């Protein structure tokens, strides 16, 4: 699912969501990691497949991620930096050798940077040093790709797109911007890999004369038709522009829930989780990050998370861990049950309501009622500039318990025939 953003001068609202190219049975968890000072810099950091150098300090992060890996599909940090990524393909061959996954780069950017621009630098530096590659699914299926990223903070947004070790970055200056499963940076290139143009020229992808177009050179796209052809990139662009100038966080959620456009996908590959963030330019206001932690945003609840000290652990959206983890990563055919408590109740409830319209309506009405209450609370925080820290410490865990209660009630309720 393509991340979307509305940059300044309005309040920056970044939406990043679980990509549709995730297998239908892959569990996404929502997890929190506190800030850490790393005294032993000789110790290596183990990512999904490889180990890399650790840094002296990492920031607190909240992540939505496939439960089997180290990185994340999308997330935010304590400084208001948000990153989401998408799978992309093009002319450059995808590397199957294990290196950093794009999802590892999302987490590393969040843990190591306090601005969007610094996060971009972190990602491209790591890309140059360690490369990207490896299987992006758990189990037998082999699924590898290059990555594009949307990176934003309170003041600016960037698009970073990669092809192997080569990359281009676009600074979002105005209006709206989205990414999907295709290269989308054309001629508006702010930063780039120093050998990117020469490499394209050597490969015969660019003649060195006409204006350089990254997507045209590194993929098979006709970029002149990019926003008029069918496809989720174009549909996302249309939906954003339809609401341009009046985009609220609720608008972003409705776009994420849109099935006719293909943004909210169903089938063997589907939307496994969703996220919407409010990033106010006024630094006295908190950034608010909404996560579902469950598949299909149309039948999920967006729950708010705000960074404050001593946050309660997110137990109901954290998947179980396994001693056999290393065997799994070494392509064992064993595939453990990674469903966290919220995911389990969500799926059980959906199985019941799929064949009962009346139960489905009751459950969805209660879910939307909970959401509306949460939205009012968050709007009040932004308007009144008042944060009850003692309550916020347990905000996301309590919202998750309230959602689980809706599913439990739905499983036990008797509907008259």
Domain count, the chain: 1
Q: Which structure tokens are listed for 87?
A: 């799978």
Q: Per-residue pLDDT for 20 more than 50?
A: no
Query: pLDDT digits over 239-298, tens only?
Result: 888 888 888 899 999 999 998 888 888 776 788 899 999 999 999 999 999 999 999 999
Q: Per-residue pLDDT for 363 more than 50?
A: yes
Contact 234, 228 (CB under 8 A): yes
Q: State mean pLDDT over 25-43.
A: 92
Q: Per-residue pLDDT for 15 more than 50?
A: no
Residue 225 pLDDT level (bands cut at 50, 70, 90)? low
Q: Per-residue pLDDT for 325 more than 60?
A: no
Residue 358 domain flag: no
Residue 152 domain flag: yes
Residue of 155 and 322 predicted with greater confidence: 155
Predicted local distance difference test score (pLDDT) of residue 343: 97
Predicted local distance difference test score (pLDDT) of residue 10: 38
Q: Per-residue pLDDT for 350 more than 90?
A: no
Residue 125 domain flag: yes
Query: pLDDT digits over 297-310, tens only?
Result: 999 999 999 999 99
Torsion angle in degrees (nearest 10) through CA of 163, 168, 170, 176: -10
Please state which of the ranges 11-15, 50-54, 186-190, 268-272 shows the lowest mean pLDDT. Answer: 11-15
Predicted local distance difference test score (pLDDT) of residue 228: 62
Task: Note the residue count of the chain.
Answer: 417
Residue 343 domain flag: no
Q: Which residues contact 369 (CB under 8 A, 6 or more apart)?
A: none
- What range defines the domain where residue 104 resides? 13-229+249-336
pLDDT more than 90, % of the chain: 67
Residue 363 domain flag: no
| Residue of 67, 77, 153 lying closest to 103 (CA atoms) | 67
- Segment (H or E) for 128: helix 116-130
Residue 366 domain flag: no
Residue 345 domain flag: no
Predicted local distance difference test score (pLDDT) of residue 22: 65
Q: Are strands 177-178 and 157-163 parallel, antiparallel or unpaired?
A: unpaired
Residue 395 domain flag: no
> How much is the mean pLDDT over the chain?
88
Q: Per-residue pLDDT for 220 more than 90?
A: no
Q: State mean pLDDT over 198-213.
A: 97
Query: pLDDT digits over 120-139, tens only?
Result: 999 999 999 999 999 988 87
Q: Quick one: residue 187, left, alpha or beta (phi over 0 = left, psi -120 to 50 = alpha)?
A: alpha
Q: Per-residue pLDDT for 108 more than 80?
A: yes
Query: pLDDT digits over 173-185, tens only?
Result: 888 899 988 999 9
Predicted local distance difference test score (pLDDT) of residue 8: 40
| CATH number (domain holding residue 50) | 3.60.60.10
Q: Which residues of 88-125 are buried (b: 16+ CB within 10 A; e: fewer)?
A: bbbebebbeeebbbbbbbbbbbbbbbebbbbbbbbbbe
Q: Which residues contact 137 (CB under 8 A, 6 or more apart)?
A: 23, 26, 143
Predicted local distance difference test score (pLDDT) of residue 233: 85
């Amino acid at each position: 699912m393509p991340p979307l953003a509305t940059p300044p001068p309005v309040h920056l609202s970044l939406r990043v969501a679980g990509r549709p190219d995730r297998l239908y049975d892959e569990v996404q968890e929502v997890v929190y990691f506190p800030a850490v000072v790393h005294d032993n810099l000789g110790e290596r950091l183990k990512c999904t497949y490889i180990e890399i150098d650790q840094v002296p300090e990492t920031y607190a992060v909240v992540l939505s991620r496939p439960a089997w890996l180290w990185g994340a599909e999308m997330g935010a940090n304590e400084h208001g930096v948000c990153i989401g990524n998408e799978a992309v393909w093009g002319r450059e061959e995808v590397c199957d050798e294990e290196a950093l996954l794009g999802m590892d780069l999302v987490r590393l950017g969040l843990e190591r940077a306090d601005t969007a621009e610094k996060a971009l630098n972190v990602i491209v530096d790591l890309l140059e040093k360690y490369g990207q590659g490896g299987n992006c699914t758990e189990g037998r299926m082999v699924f590898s790709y290059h990555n594009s990223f949307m990176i934003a903070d309170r003041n600016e947004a960037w698009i970073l797109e990669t092809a192997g070790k080569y990359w281009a970055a676009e600074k979002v200056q105005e209006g709206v911007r989205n990414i999907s499963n295709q290269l989308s940076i054309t001629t508006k290139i702010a930063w780039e890999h120093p050998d990117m143009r020469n490499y394209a020229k050597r490969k015969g992808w660019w003649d060195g004369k006409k204006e350089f177009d990254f997507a045209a050179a590194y993929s098979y796209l006709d970029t002149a038709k990019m926003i008029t052809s069918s496809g989720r990139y174009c549909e996302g662009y249309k939906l954003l522009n339809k609401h341009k100038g009046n985009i609220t966080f609720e608008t972003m959620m409705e776009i994420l829930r849109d099935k006719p456009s293909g943004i909210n996908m169903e089938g063997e590959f589907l939307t496994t989780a969703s996220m919407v963030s409010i990033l106010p330019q006024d630094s006295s206001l908190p950034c608010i990050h909404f996560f579902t932690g469950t598949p299909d945003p149309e039948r999920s609840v967006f729950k708010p998370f705000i960074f404050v000290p001593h946050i309660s652990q997110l137990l109901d959206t954290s998947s179980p861990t396994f001693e056999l983890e290393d065997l799994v990563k070494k392509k064992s055919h064993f595939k453990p049950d990674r469903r966290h408590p919220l995911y389990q109740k969500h799926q059980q409830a959906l199985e019941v309501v799929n064949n009962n319209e009346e139960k489905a309506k009751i459950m969805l009405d209660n879910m939307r009622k909970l959401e509306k209450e949460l939205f009012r609370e968050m709007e009040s925080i932004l308007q009144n500039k008042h944060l009850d820290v003692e309550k916020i410490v347990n905000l996301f865990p309590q919202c998750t318990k309230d959602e689980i209660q809706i599913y439990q009630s739905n499983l036990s309720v008797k509907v008259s025939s």
